[in-house]
Structure 1
Amino acid sequence: MVSRFNTRILLAFLHDLTAAGLAWLVAYWLRFNLSIPAEYWPSALSTLAWVMPLQALAFWRFGLYRGIWRFASLPDLRRILFAVGVAALLIPLALFMFQIKAIVPRSVLVLDPILLLLIMGGSRLTYRAWKEHRFGALATEREPVIILGAGGAAASLVRELAQSREWRVVGLLDDMPTKQGRDLYGVPVLGKLDSLARHAEKLNVQHAVIAMPSTSHSVRRHAAQICADAGIAALTVPAFDDLASGKVTVSALRKIELDDLLGRDPVQLDDAGLQQLIHNQVVMVSGAGGSIGSELCRQIARFQPKLLILFEMSEFALYKIEQEFNTEFPDVHILCAIGDVKHAAVIDSLLSQHQPSVIFHAAAYKHVPLMEQSNAWQAMRNNVLGTYMLAHAAQRHGVAKFVLISTDKAVNPTNVMGASKRLAEMVCQSLHAAPTDTSRTRFVAVRFGNVLGSSGSVIPKFQEQIAHGGPITVTHPDITRYFMSIPEACQLVLQAGLMGDGGEIFVLDMGEPVKIADLARDMIKLSGFSENDIKIVYSGLRPGEKLYEELLADDEHTLTTPHPKLRIAQARTVEDAWLSQALIWLTQEHIVSEAEVKQMLKKWVPEYTTQT
């Protein structure tokens, strides 16, 4: 590969050296009306020994061989212009200083750089045009595509797809009237977005690219809907943050995903504050192998902690996140620790040895139907007792901040899982209200709804059902849920963890609730099917499931925060004696029945109601 690269540089250099000699001689030829007199030939040839080395030196010094001819553009032409211009000044200076006895007409000194610029620039652009298939039949063999949007991303995409062997841009669509009827790098802006079906049929287009990464998600969703209605397969460019960071180029096209339809505007993080919270600090994440825990670890890794402790009960989940970090974040020092949050000795050993300054507690049992009946006692012990064990250990070992990952199901819960998470919040409230003499750990809880693609969510289930040809099962036609992406949820958890002074329950702005049936229809469309191909059937509400979730209880209100997507719930206070009573009950040796669990939940969580 290296030898091939060096060969290309050598060929480019020899081309330019030949162009330098040719331009010098042609300048003489033009000066004397296409016939160089015999007495001028010796001067023309002898001065080449000075002209060619000086120009070659200028070419090299101005970096003409760092670029690739296939992607020759204005910056390359600018470098050629500077190199030729400097050489044009050096040549007469050198001939004068070294008193070269040669006859060089002044017009030759003017014509030479002009000719050289035309030859060098023209050859590069010709080569690029040839590689872009502008000459020959290959252009018609590529798949025609229409781009939705005519802004900066679309312009970059038109340029980059000009070199593609797969796609050929035949038009653009944009709702801005001033752009319609114009050309973008030779490609016409045909009309508005909603004219896609008409232009696609006329131009025999089967694919459209949504190239509007910086617009709001509602605009991108509208564009995706236009593609679906027109029967056109929709692609999209990478997210604006990825483009801005240089991770990917705009031509890295991908299929439209559910995040694009239900996605929200980007989260604005206090990077400076998070840098202070995490950078060069020891940070611990419990449940690090889960969907939320693993994404939290990825987000934390961006801020370069001194040590990131990955605490996880599942050996396989821990192995997976370890392998990912070894590949994706090799510079981040991690410690993979297997253990149960209910095991006090293991937790004490970890905290004593490594002294984390921040703990994010994501370990929990969260699947509502599984936790509702035969596993109710295990849900209580893991979600409530496990939270106490880790939080109390954090308090004893002087951890500065403890962040609990809670859920909207903790609000007016109708199931054991939601009620157990409300009790976990109450554990943190109690501990924060009773700091020890040696430690003032700040306890913060963060509530949010469903996240797209998390383990146990409806998304993987629907994907599997579509892959098997359907039907998709939805429990009720009117059931709704709040949704956000896993990265957004974790970014807001970090932001809440930074902002929390202790004792707060942060509520995330989840946007508008989404009907699960509509979600199923979107997924069917994204998979290239219709409801005639994949049926939707309704199976009835499951144990502990309610039609809609809430982010606030009836007796709760919220306070605003400086961040537009975070509010603070004013939850009811917790009785002082409650925690000690709960611990006695939770540490019983025998298995507690489902009926007794629900009876105690009604006592401790007055807003908890069981479904009949």
Structure 2
Amino acid sequence: MKALGKWKKPILILSDAVLINLAYILAFYFRYNYRNFKFYSNDYKEIAIIVTVIYIACFYLFKLYESLWSYASVDEFMLAIGGCIAADIITIAFVRIIGHPFTYGVSILACAFSILFILGFRMSFRVYERFTGIINCNVSKNDRNRVMIIGAGAAAAMVIKEMKSSSQANYTPIAVIDDEPYKKGKNILGVKVLGNRKDILSIAKAKDIETILIAIPTIEDEDKQQILEICKKTKCKIEIIPGMYEIINGKVSLSQIRKVDIEDLLGRKAVVLDTEGIAGYIQNKTILVTGGGGSIGSELCRQIIKFAPKQLIVFDIYENNAYDLQIELKYKYPKLDLKVLIGSVRDKKRLEDVFTKYSPDIVFHAAAHKHVPLMEESPMEAIKNNVFGTYNVAECAHRFNVERFVMISTDKAVNPTNVMGATKRMCEMIIQSMDKISKTHFVAVRFGNVLGSNGSVIPLFKNQIAHGGPVTLTNKYITRFFMTIPEAAQLVLQSGAYAQGGEIFVLDMGKPVKIYDLAWDLIKLSGFEPNKDIKIEVTGLRPGEKLYEELLMSEEGLTNTEHAKIFIGKPTFSDLGVMKERMKELAVIIEANDVDALTNKIKDIVPTYKKTGGEDDQAV
């Protein structure tokens, strides 16, 4: 049928003309039986062309020639019936006007035959596609994945149809699972609903299922997590169609199927934002994002744009990331007033030039060195970039009367055991003390690890799995808090709306996740058996690494905000003069490149800092 190409519509019209006239001839035959058939059929010949034109015109009006009948649905069938009935009514009116000896019986029979023939002919398209699809499936079934589909709804029907009709599809639908009891035993395009979620394990084993596809676009996060927990117990690859908000025009295709990510296993509900509160401090304002090309910084930029800033300034030292973000934002938001500037937060003169020229109203400070092992090897650079860089940006914000300054902090700043965490605690101390002498509202937002961010454990594990393993982690009992990049960026924006000055906003990260379990799940989701197909190796804690992270120091306490996922830790440091003196001392030590003196000074500034020795510190 696909080979017909441009000739498809003329062939359809010609076929319809033949079928319409055949319907009327049969109607005369059955109405007047054989004896009178010739007499009355001769009368029909006089108006046959006009009747045919009426029908074809109605079919055009009902858009019967615009449908892809290989994928016809109830809508197309109703249009075909409607077109035949409308044409019959017009024909009856026409023959009455010209006084032709038609009876109502002939008209009704002719309409019935027309519907039967027109729909029957079009059904042949679907039969052909189904037949060739079955042949394709049989020819290449050894190369195809045997698929169990979870969800017996419209999305499943679309996916099954494409699996069966496409010779390129690498799937053979074998079984459907659905929790609705009345659907059990029913068929969706020839694929039977065999049970509910409790039957997934037994059916997967009995039917030699290779891939499980979750085909429920509107699935709730809690249900998805429960189903995934069951699916993980099988030896199948697990895939999922996107949510309805990701599907254009509500259509589902095989190209949209993706692998299940670890984010799906978190079972976190979408963040609900106070959009009015955020818009109130961002709309029509000039926003500066330092480190704007990084994982968090770039997502902050994407979220900020939704609230109609007057101008967005991306400031980053790494030109590749900044350039990629510029291309993305210019393409998606051609009317956005976007400035992408290259520079370092260490360069105070460069910062002063930026603040002088653009006068930002709001600053989101995301620029920082964040990789723990690297900063253990290069502690001087961590101090230069994180501590002195933050002070430079904060001082500019104060001098140029910025309204709000929001710094991105980390849970590693709490009772730090590494240089990176200690520098972030110093940054918090800088902005808390700066807030006491400034009209600018200085705040920090503290959260844990971000899934998929640059240098996070997820891309590392995925890469190791892709290369056949082993997957390496430092301790079997190590835990971390996780949230997604959009979730983190959205909550940072929301925290900015609550800023009064001096707060450290602590985000609700949910329950801590065991990294060993994370590695296990990723291996399972990739269709492998942990410690059989892909080994998990424990290498020992690295210098500066904790077994578990904390989000709050004991003296900070917590108070609630209007948002269920955001809390406030009370300020614990406020003497900017003391902080400046300590920074002068740090500058002298950095100039002398004295690492031991630096370690002692960090302990002096951050009393809760306790340097760990790595593999020796493995007790819980």
Shorter-normalised TM-score: what interval? 0.7 to 0.9
Q: What are the Cα deviations for residues 444-475 of structure 1, in whole angstroms up to 9, with x where unaligned?
A: 32211111222222223333433444333322
1:491-510 matches, cutoff 5 A: 491-510=490-509
Structure 2 equivalent of residue 519 of structure 1: 518
Rounded to whole Å, the distance in 1 between the matches of 2:12 and 2:358 is: 58
The match for 2:342 among 326, 338, 343 is 338
Q: Report what 1:173 is aligned to.
A: 177
Within a 5 Å distance, the mapping from 1:32-71 to structure 2 comes to 32-33=32-33, 37-71=37-71
Q: Please tell me the residue identity of whatever aligns with 1:389.
A: N
| Equivalent residue runs for 1:453-602 within 5 Å | 453-527=452-526, 528-585=528-585, 590-602=591-603
Alpha-carbon contact 2:29-2:37 (below 8 Å) kept: no
TM-superposed deviation, 1:515: 1.5
SS at match of 1:422: helix
Aligned equivalent of 1:88: 88
Are positions 1:419 and 2:418 aligned together? no
Matches within 5 A, 1:120-139: 120-133=118-131, 137-139=135-137
Change over 3 Å in CA distance of 1:359–1:5 after alignment to 2: farther
- The residue matched to 2:346 in structure 1 has which SS? coil
Counterparts of 1:6-405 in structure 2, within 5 Å, are 7-33=7-33, 37-96=37-96, 99-133=97-131, 137-141=135-139, 142=141, 143=144, 144-151=146-153, 153-165=155-167, 166=169, 167-217=171-221, 219-243=223-247, 249=253, 252-262=256-266, 264-271=268-275, 273-274=277-278, 278=282, 281-303=285-307, 305-325=309-329, 332-373=336-377, 375-405=378-408
In the alignment, the residues of structure 2 paired with residue 59 and residue 20 of structure 1 have an alpha-carbon distance, to the nearest angstrom, of 12
Output one character per residue of 1:529-553: Cα deviation in whole Å (capped at 9) or x when no partner: 4303433333222221111001111
Secondary structure of 1:510's aligned partner? coil
Give the superposition deviation at 1:483: 1.5
TM-score by length of 1: 0.88
| Separation (CA, whole Å) in 2 of partners of 1:331 and 1:13 | 48
Q: Which amino acid aligns with 2:291?
A: G
C-alpha separation in 2, matches of 1:36 and 1:378: 104
Change in Cα spacing, 1:119 to 1:541, as seen in structure 2 (3 Å) is: same
Q: What residue is the counterpart of 2:610 in the other structure?
A: 609
Alpha-carbon deviation of 1:265?
2.4
Whether contact under 8 Å (1:444, 1:502) holds in the other structure is yes
Misfit runs of 4+, over 6 Å: none
Aligned with residue 431 of structure 1, among 434, 447, 465: 434
* CA distance in 2: counterparts of 1:607 and 1:286, whole angstroms: 28
Deviation at 1:123, TM superposition (A): 2.8
Q: Structure 1 residue 367: deviation in Å?
A: 0.9
Deviation at 1:378, TM superposition (A): 1.9
Q: Deviations over 1:388-408 (max 9, x none)?
A: 222332344444333221111
Deviation (angstroms), 1:32? 2.4
Kept in 2, the 8 Å contact 1:237–1:254? The answer is yes
Contact 2:133 2:164 in 1 (8 A): no
Q: Measure the CA separation in 1 of the matches of 2:346 and 2:328.
A: 27
Shift of 1:159: 4.7
SS in 1 for 2:256: coil
CA contact (8 A) 1:557 1:571 kept: no
Would the alpha carbon gap of residues 596 and 11 (structure 1) be closer, same or farther in structure 2, given more than 3 Å must change? farther
Distance 1:273 1:62 in 2: 50
Residues 113 and 566 (structure 1), Cα distance of their counterparts in 2 relative to 1, 3 Å cut: farther
TM-aligned CA distance change 1:108 to 1:609, over 3 Å = same
- The range that moved more, 246-255 or 356-365, is 246-255
Distance change in 2, residues 1:335/1:103 (3 Å): same
Q: Is the 8 A contact 1:242 1:248 kept in 2?
A: no
Structure 1 stretches of 5 or more lacking a match?
Answer: none
- Give, as a single letter, the amino acid of the residue that structure 1 aligns with 2:518: L
Q: Mind listing any 5+ residue stretches in structure 2 that lack a counterpart? A: 614-620
> Larger % of helix: which?
2
Identity %: 39
CA RMSD, 1 decimal:
3.3
Query: Once structures 1 and 2 are overlaid, which stretch shifts more, 221-230 or 120-129?
Result: 221-230
CA contact (8 A) 1:452 1:486 kept: yes
Change (3 A) 1:161 1:609: same
Q: What is the SS of the residue equivalent to 1:283?
A: strand
CA deviations over 1:201-230 (Å, ceiling 9, x no partner): 433432221234544545434434444433
Displacement of 1:366 in angstroms is 0.5
SS in 1 for 2:543: coil
After superposition, the Cα gap between the structure-2 partners of 1:341 and 1:5, relative to the gap in structure 1 and judged at 3 Å, is farther
Q: Secondary structure at the match of 2:540?
A: coil
Measure the CA separation in 2 of the matches of 1:57 and 1:426: 79
Instruction: Give deviations 1:348-378, integer Å, cap 9, x for gaps.
Output: 33334334443322111001122124x2222
Distance 1:136 1:341, change over 3 A: closer
Find the counterpart in structure 1 of residue 617 from structure 2. Answer: none
- TM-score for the superposition, normalised by structure 2: 0.87
The Cα of 1:516 is off from its aligned counterpart by 1.6
Counterpart amino acid of residue 610 in structure 1: K
Counterparts of 1:491 and 1:195, CA distance in 2: 39
C-alpha separation in 2, matches of 1:48 and 1:579: 98
